[in-house]
Each structure stands twice: as structure tokens, then as C-alpha cells.
Amino acid sequence: MSENQTPPPKKAHLRKEKRKARGKRQPYTARKGKNVPGKPSPPNVATCSCKYFCKNLTHDQKQLLFMDFYKVNEQNQGTYLLNHMHLVPVGRRRNGNYDDPEENRRSCSFIYSVPDGSGKNVQVRSKTFR
């Protein structure tokens, strides 16, 4: 480091290190001192019974998505998620007499989809990426 540069404050540096560890699924110590384990790999069996096609993804496909997501840095993880999200208009509006639909708070829904290995995109729920 040159003479003009000062090291970052200790707390800010620790927060950055924890954020990096969290983004790479490694264990870290939370702000209050609690040890947080790293994120485990996805399970072999389907963990949900939702209406989407999460259960149709094979373990290898889940593992590949998991590794692709966590091998990139934090900024590129957001880009990765945006590439798998699609905006669609709200299917059915409820509870409100709006002259202009834009007055409503929510104007679109997000659909998450991932490749299934055969070239098709399969719709999954958002918890697939958590």
C-alpha cells in the first residue's frame, strides 16, 4: 500500500469478508457472534411439492445450477438471477376499482425458469435459488 492510502476500517473490512463468505456458501460468523454454517449442496430428492417443475430437475442439473451460481462473484450472481427471471403481466387483479391499472402497486409478476438439460426452460419457484 502506498503512503496516501489507508486500510479500510476494521468493521467495514470484516463485513466485506463475511459478505464474500456468504456469497460463496462458506461458513462465517454473524454480527452477533453466532456461527453460521455454509450452504449445503441441494438434496438428492425433491424437497417441495409445488405446482412448478422443481421436482422434475435431476440431482445433476440442480448441482450444476448450484455450482454455476456460487462460482461467480456477488455482482454476477445478481446478473445470473436476472438471466433466469422473466417479467409477465399480472394474471388477475383483485380487490380494487382502479380506473387505470397502473395505479395498482404491482404491475408485473416474476417467473423463474432454468434449463432442464434438453434445451427447454422449466419454470421453478424462487426458493430454488435460495
Alpha carbons 90 and 20: distance in angstroms, whole number = 35
pLDDT beyond 60 at 1? no
* Residue 17 pLDDT: 79
If pLDDT is split at 50, 70 and 90, which confidence band does 8 have?
A: low
Question: Average pLDDT in the 109-120 region?
Answer: 82
Neighbours of 54 (CB within 10 A): 20
8 or 65: which leads in pLDDT: 65
Q: What is the CA radius of gyration of the chain?
A: 20
* Residue 42 pLDDT: 72
Alpha carbons 73 and 94: distance in angstroms, whole number = 40
Q: What is the pLDDT of residues 33-90, one digit of tens each?
A: 888 887 777 767 666 777 777 777 777 888 888 888 888 887 888 888 888 888 888 8
The torsion defined by the Cα of 23, 26, 29 and 31, in degrees rounded to 10, comes to 10
Domain ranges for the chain? 7-39, 41-129
Alpha carbons 111 and 97: distance in angstroms, whole number = 26
